Amino acid sequence: MASASSLQLPIIKVKSALSVATHDVLAIEEPLEIRLEHGPVDERKVQNISVTMRTPGNDAELALGFLFTEGIITNVKAIANIDHCFIACAENKENVIQVSLHPDSVPCLKNTERNFYTTSSCGVCGKGSINAIRTVGQFNDNQLDDSFIYSDILYSLPDILRKHQDVFTDTGGLHASALFSNTGEMLLVREDVGRHNALDKLIGAAINKGMVPLSNSVLMLSGRASFELVQKAAMAGINIIAAVGAPSTLAVQLAQEFNITLVGFLRDERFNIYTAPHRILFTQ
């Protein structure tokens, strides 16, 4: 069934020499501009922070998660309000969201000088160095190291995630990120056409629920594990990442640097452990 995140369009379906007019449900992809209002009461300024191609829905969580994982804000208490910018042009009002900080909250804007633009496939490209992530992360040096998960629980996570991918079921075109407990209970799940957006939405939702740092949760990714996803997980204090697809070399390097357990190719009761294997326990 089509939703605010998908749209039904007419198509011609071809198989061998036969063609038929029918309909298909596609994931919606639209730009979202994130604006930040900050400064003292008498010197307020509005700054464009990012434009990202996303699937509409959970935009406030996306904006919050993005600002947090980029180190622009460190606490949800800094935020006075998040809402779509209805003063924009009528046709764009749902594609502009403004985050207003309290007058005494000072954002860290040094990284915004590189003019953020993220696409649905790229994420936070061109991060200067792993050391840059360490300087802005709150939980990198104080992560709890008592998290673990049994292999048989790990095997079950992809199927559980797939059952909760509502828009993917309709369209086949969305990524998903989910948080699980170490007993296999799904805690949160978010979908988006961009894998980094799905994770920002997830982390934004977790921040709203007071769950961060996420040191005792397992992050499950529906696709590959790229550098920017491991970076965002590190910012949220996540210790275990499991992905259906492959990791990149830089993702492995970053996971190793921050003592994150990184699992890839998790499907069909098999997986590879790339870093910090001590958190994966095997039943006798």
Enumerate the active-site residues: 122
| Beta carbons of 125 and 118 less than 8 angstroms apart | yes
Whole-angstrom distance, CA of residue 60 vs CA of residue 192: 14
- Across the chain, which distance is largest between two alpha carbons, in Å? 69
For residues 231 and 262, is the Cβ–Cβ distance under 8 A? no
- The CA distances from residue 10 to 26, 37, 58, in Å, are 10, 41, 27
Residue recorded with tokens 């600002």: 67
For residue 5, what is the DSSP state? T
231 CB-side CA count, 13 A:
26
Q: How far apart are CA 131 and CA 254, in angstroms?
A: 10
Tell me the one-letter amino acid at 231.
Answer: Q
What is the SS3 assignment for 122? coil
CA nearest 161: which of 218, 215, 216, 104? Answer: 218
Judge contact between 235 and 137, C-beta under 8 A. yes
- Residue 3 backbone dihedrals phi, psi, to 5 degrees: -140, -170
The continuous run of DSSP H or E covering 168 comes out as: helix 166-171
